[in-house]
Amino acid sequence: MGKIGYDLDVDFQKQHYQIIQNSIEWMLEHFEAQPSLDALAKQAKMSPSHFQKLFVNFVGVSPKQFLASITITNAKRMIHTSSLLDVTYRLGLSGTGRLHDLFIKLEGMTPGTYKGKGEGISLYYEFFPTIIGDMIVVSSEKGIQNLQFLQTTQKKMETLVSIQEELPYATWKEEERSLHIPIKQFLQNHTLPEKLIPLSVLGTPFQIKVWQSLLSIPQGDVTTYSEIATSIGQPNAQRAVGSAIGKNPIALLIPCHRVIQASGFIGGYRWNPIRKQMLLAWENALSTPESMGEHSRMRDEKKADE
C-alpha cells in the first residue's frame, strides 16, 4: 500500500495530527447537524481544499465519508447478528479488515519473566504521534510488550513509569526498534505489515485467552462482552471478561475498543471513551467498499513503482 501521510519533519507532522484529531472530535460532537466541508474547514482554520486534502491523507477517507461512518456507527446497528463462534464471522474479509487475523501473533511472557519482574531482559520504548493521539510502544526481543495512548493529563514519563512498574528490574532504553516500524506505518500511514507482528504480553492464562478472542473481531464490526465470554467457553464469566478487556496492554492491535455493552451503549475505554468512538467511526469508514477500493489502487501504484 502506498504511503498516505506526508513526509514532514516530526514537529510539523505532529501539528497536522493534532489538527485532524481536533477535527474528528468536533465531528463526533456535531455529526447530527451533518456539517459541510466549508464548516469543517472553518473550524480547522483552513481552506476547504486544503482541509480535504489533509484529511484524506491522514485519515484515509474523505470528511464526508467519515461523517457518514459516524452516523452508521450507532452501536445497535453495528452489533453483528452472528456469534464469534460462527466460523463464517471472518470469511470474505479483505484489506485492513483482516489485520488481526493475518498479521498478529499473540503470546504471553514466560512465568519466569513475570516472577523475576523483568530481571535479565531489555525493553525498548518509543513515543510517536497518530491522528487519534500520541502513543508509546514498548518491545522486548520477543515482541511488542505494550502499546498505549498517552492520556491528555499525563506526561510522557508518567505513562512510562506506570508501565515500568510491571517489570521494574528490566533494562529500559528509549530506542526505535525494527518491531516498532510496522506498527507506526500502520497507525500513521495505513500500511499493512508484510509479516507477523509478534506480541509478547504480561497476562494470566485467562486474560491471554480473552485477548486472543478479541483478534477475531473484524475491523468495522463490534461484539459484546457476553459474546466474548461465550466464544471462550465461559458464558457466565462476563464480569471477568470485562476485567480482562479493561487490562488489555496493547491498544488497537488487540482491538478491545470493538467490544460494547449488550444495550448498544459504547461503554468504557481505558484510554478515553471519546477515543473509542473515534476508533469505531474511523474503522467503519476504512471498511467501506469505496475506501477499500482506494487502498487497492494505492497498492497497485506502489507495485508499479517497484
pLDDT at position 144:
96
C-alpha cell at 160: 512510562
In whole angstroms, what is the distance from residue 182 CA to residue 195 CA? 9
Q: Which domains does the chain possess?
A: 10-76+285-305 (1.10.10), 81-269 (1.10.10.10)
The number of beta carbons lying within 10 Å of the beta carbon of residue 154 is 15
pLDDT at position 131:
84
pLDDT at position 61:
83
C-alpha cell at 34: 451533518
pLDDT at position 59:
84
Q: How does pLDDT run along the chain (306 residues), one tens digit per residue? A: 334 444 445 566 778 888 888 898 898 888 878 899 999 999 999 999 999 998 888 888 889 888 877 776 654 444 444 444 442 333 233 334 444 445 678 888 776 776 778 889 999 999 999 888 899 999 999 999 999 999 765 678 889 999 999 899 999 999 999 999 999 988 887 777 888 899 999 888 899 999 999 998 888 888 999 999 999 999 999 999 999 999 999 999 999 999 998 877 888 899 989 899 889 888 888 776 555 555 555 445 444 554
In whole angstroms, what is the distance from residue 189 CA to residue 227 CA? 32
CB 251 within 8 A of CB 135: yes
- Secondary structure class of 51 (helix, strand, coil): helix
In 3D space, the residue among 131, 110, 122 whose CA is nearest the CA of residue 58 turns out to be 131
The Cβ-side half-sphere exposure at 114, using a 13 Å CA radius, reads: 11
In whole angstroms, what is the distance from residue 225 CA to residue 38 CA? 40
Point out the catalytic residue in the list 256, 279, 281, 285: 256
In 3D space, the residue among 106, 122, 136 whose CA is nearest the CA of residue 167 turns out to be 122
Pairing mode of beta strands 144-149, 171-174: unpaired
C-alpha cell at 232: 471462550
pLDDT at position 155:
79
C-alpha cell at 256: 478491545
C-alpha cell at 258: 470493538
Could you tell me the pTM of the whole model? Answer: 0.75
pLDDT at position 283:
86
Told to judge if 256 belongs to the known catalytic residues of this protein, a careful annotator would answer: yes
